[in-house]
Structures are given as C-alpha cells and as structure tokens.
Amino acid sequence: MTLKVINPLTNEVINEYPEMTSREVKEILENVQKEYLDWKKTSFAHRRKLMHKAAEVLRKNKNEYATLMAQEMGKPIVDGRAEVEKCAWVCEYYAEEAENQLKPEIIETDASKSYISYQPLGVILAVMPWNFPFWQVIRFVAPTLMAGNGGVLKHASNVPGSALAIEGVFHKAGFPKNIFRTLLVGSREVNAIIENPIVKAVTLTGSGYAGRAVAAQAGKMLKRTLLELGGSDPYVILEDANIEETVLTCVSSRMINSGQSCIAAKRFIVVESQLKKFEELYVYNMKNRKMGDPLREDVSVGPQARHDLRDELHKQVQDSIAKGARLLLGAEVPDNKGAFYPPTVLSDVKKEMPAYDEELFGPVAAIIPVKNEVEAIRVANDSVFGLGAAVFTSDSKKGERIATEELEAGACFVNAYVRSDPRLPFGGIKESGYGRELSYYGIREFTNVKTVYIR
C-alpha cells in the first residue's frame, strides 16, 4: 500500500510513499522507547539548546516547507511561511519556559517537605490533520520533547512529505534520531499503535468522528487523551460595534487557510441594526480575495485540500440555500481541475440548516440575523461546538463580561479574531474536545503530576 499525494491545484499524483508495515512500526516504537529512557535524564539546558536550533532550522528552510504545504494541501505560500514562523516561535517559547513551567511546586503540609513534581510519561502518539501540517505537529512536539517525553507522529495521509520534513527538522537540529519519529501509516493502523504498551498517551487534532474513535480505543487501554476537534466559532456583532473594523477582522478570520481552520470564524451573529451595513461590507471584502495558484505571492485563497472535501462543502451550501438561506456571493464550483471553492456568503441562516448546525470547513460565511444582545448570546451558544468565540462592541467592559461569563467556548476574544498563542492555553469544550495545548497547561498535559511527601 502507498500514501498518494494529490496536488489539489492540478488533481495529479505528485508523490507516493510506501506505507510502513506493522513490523516497521513496532521497531520504530521500540527505538523511540529506548531513546526516551536516556532522553528523560537530559538537562533542560541541553534540551533548550537543541530546541532553539530547531527554530533556526525552521526559519532557514521556511520557503521550502511553505512550498511543500502548497503542493500537498493547497496552502497559499504566504500563509505557509507565516505558519513556519509560528512553529519557530513555539519552539523558542518552550525552550525558554519549560524548565520554569515544570519546576517542583512546594506545598505546605504536615510533612517536613512535600511538593508536586512533573515527570515525563514516556512515548506520546500524535494523530494530526492536514490543514496546518507543520503548526499542529510542532505545537505538540516542542512541549513534549522539552518535558522529557518521546514522540511518534501519525500524520494525515495526504501530507506525508510534511510529516517527514518535520522529522527532519529535529534531526537537523541535533536531537537524537529516535526521540521523535514519523509513522507512515493509514488511519486503520491507529488502533494497533494505541494498543502497543510503549505508547502512554494520545493527542489528536481532527474531526469529531476521529476523536471519538481514538478516545474509545485509548479508553479501552486506560491511556490519557487530549482532543482538539472541530469548531463552528460564533462572532457576535453588537449594536455599538465599529462595523468597518469589525468586518475586516471577521473576513480575515473566516478566510484563514482558505477557510480551512477549526478556529476560523464560521457564524456571524449580527444584530438587526447592523445587518445591512455588515452584509454590504462583508461581501465587498470577500470579493477582493484573490483565488488561484497557491505558489503565487498575490493569492490569498488556494484550492481546498481535497476534491471530496470541496464537494462536501458545496453540498452543505446548496442544502442551506434549499432550506431558505439567502445567497449573497459565490457558491459556484469553478470549471477547472483544481479543488477550488469561491469565497461565499450566506445570510438569513437559521437552525436546521447545515450552515447553522454544522462546521463549514472552507471559505463560506454564515450570517445569522438576531434582534438583540440576549438573542445573539443564545444563538452563539446554540451549538454542539465550543472551541472559540468572539464579541465585537465599543464597550470593552461589556465585551469582557460577555466573553468571560456568557460565551461557551474554550477561547473567547473581544474585538479580535480567535487565534492560538504559545503563551495561552488552547482547546475547547463540548464536542470541540477536551484538554489544553500550549502555555504551561499544554506542557503539563503529558506529565506525571507526582506527589512527593517526606516525613
């Protein structure tokens, strides 16, 4: 069996990679486990030096990596370079912060000495998606290795070149060869990998379907999981929002990665008094997004990652229109080989339409008119998802209250679009998953939080 890479721009096979056999996977796991036993004894100073080197390797080769992403999954090359820069940032962040984040915490008890110690767990499996093929992986690898763990990666089957390139980043940086390895296998092999006693925990970023499958298998084996799943982020636009600035922020968020981002804005919940102006400005700005070859510097909308994903998105749009959504822009599949979907805007979106209830993973905006703030918050929370949310208002105190107390999501922003930042915890609630990546929460997820008590 082989993993075939199909360029979404041309619909042509550009590379094939042989899948690893179960014996090869077993051998890699054993090698990573052996390396881990030595790695966990290394100093933070040693790990810090290598992680800074990884950041240097990323920056030195960012054009190469950005080109690879464009060819494998259609990411505009400008976005690819930015992604690699962010990867370098997270490496530098954990290089500098890990030792302090994992230092023992003294707890006053009746003991002569008692404290919490954060110890590595062992070999961690990462099951990762294609949409941010470098960032999703490296935001896992950097804290995992700095905590003294080993790591193995099962990447999405359409980005094996990126998976191998990431492995190469850490080899070039001087990390031990077997402390982080890529497993070139399909999804059907994941259960067997989780069953292997060497694997101590699993992190997955992906769909709800994949999350449930991995969580069920890991639960059978009593292994820890971290899940970052889908999102249908609501952006609440109130009566006193600066509509011009708000629209620019909303369009930028919706079009991240050609619309293929779990934390991209998906549902725009707009009070009636702002609706007409919001629609006009939103459509105007979406029209100005240039779609085309992702290797061109002036292109901001590349093809969707796969043709089947593009076709599923189109079906969701058409079903929403059939149920009464008002089409303001787009929704016509281009007549070419690429997996393109045009910037699309729907309004009058209501419950039981796909654009209301489901995640639209592409450049499609769903505008939901509401009467007032109370209804806006109710609609924002009327979702199975709870990854990110945003509120726009000129009253920052009101915005802070809504973000803190009212919106049901793992990350809530005021007058800004939802984004991940190494300094802040990232993750969702409800069907968007559980656990947290990034910040000190992220590095502690895969440690043994150990109590030490000395009489």
Q: Domains plus CATH for the chain?
A: 2-229+432-454 (3.40.605.10), 233-422 (3.40.309.10)
Residue 386: which H helix or E strand, with range?
strand 385-386
Instruction: Give the span between the Cα atoms of 144 and 300, in whole angstroms.
Output: 33
Closest-CA residue to 332 (of 344, 348, 346, 320)? 344
Q: Does 228 qualify as catalytic in the annotation?
A: yes
319: three-class secondary structure by DSSP: helix
Task: Look at residues 340, 348, 299, 302 and name the one whose alpha carbon lies nearest to residue 322.
Answer: 348
Cβ atoms within 10 Å, residue 103: 13
**List of the chain residues with pLDDT < 70:** none
CA 194 to chain centre: 21
Q: Are 73 and 261 in contact (CB under 8 A)?
A: no
What is the pLDDT, as a whole number, of residue 397?
98
φ/ψ (deg, to 5) at 203: -120, 135
The rounded distance, in Å, linking the Cα atoms of 429 and 373 is: 23
Nearest to 228 by CA among 240, 244, 210: 210
Asked whether 353 and 324 are in contact (CB, 8 A), the reply is yes
Burial 396-419 (b: 16+ CB within 10 A, else e): eeebeebbeebbbbbbbbbbebbe
Please report, for residues 128, 267, 348, 358, the alpha-carbon distance to residue 351 in angstroms, rounded to integers and kept in the order given: 31, 12, 10, 10
Given 87, 91, 262, 412, which residue is catalytic? 262
pLDDT recorded at residue 21: 97
Side-by-side strand order, sheet with 105-106: 105-106, 113-120, 447-454
What DSSP designation does 297 have? T
Upper half-sphere CA count for residue 306 (Cβ side, 13 Å) = 13
Residue where the block lists tokens 């530098």: 92
Residue among 35, 83, 228, 358 flagged as catalytic: 228
DSSP letter at 301 equals: B
| Whole-number Å distance between alpha carbons of 244 and 455 | 64
Helices first, then strands: H and E counts in the chain: 15, 20
62 touches 85 (CB < 8 A): yes
Q: Strand pairing partners for 157?
A: none
Q: Is 262 a catalytic residue?
A: yes
What residue type is assigned to position 423 of the chain? R
The DSSP secondary-structure symbol of 404 reads: I
Query: Nearest 5 degrees, angle CA 118-CA 121-CA 122?
Result: 140
pTM above 0.75, yes or no: yes
Instruction: Give residues with Cβ within 8 angstroms of 159, minimum separation 6.
Output: 5, 69, 72, 73, 130, 133
pLDDT for 386 equals 98
Q: What is the pLDDT of residue 1?
A: 86
Distance of alpha carbon 62 from its chain centroid, rounded?
Answer: 19
Count Cβ atoms below 10 Å from residue 171 Cβ, excluding itself. 17
Spatial contact of 447 and 226, defined as CB atoms under 8 Å apart: no
DSSP state for residue 257 in the 8-state scheme: G
Q: Are 376 and 420 in contact (CB under 8 A)?
A: no
**224 touches 200 (CB < 8 A):** yes
CA 455 to chain centre: 45
Burial code (b: 16+ CB inside 10 Å, e: under 16) for 45-59 equals eebbebbebbbebbb
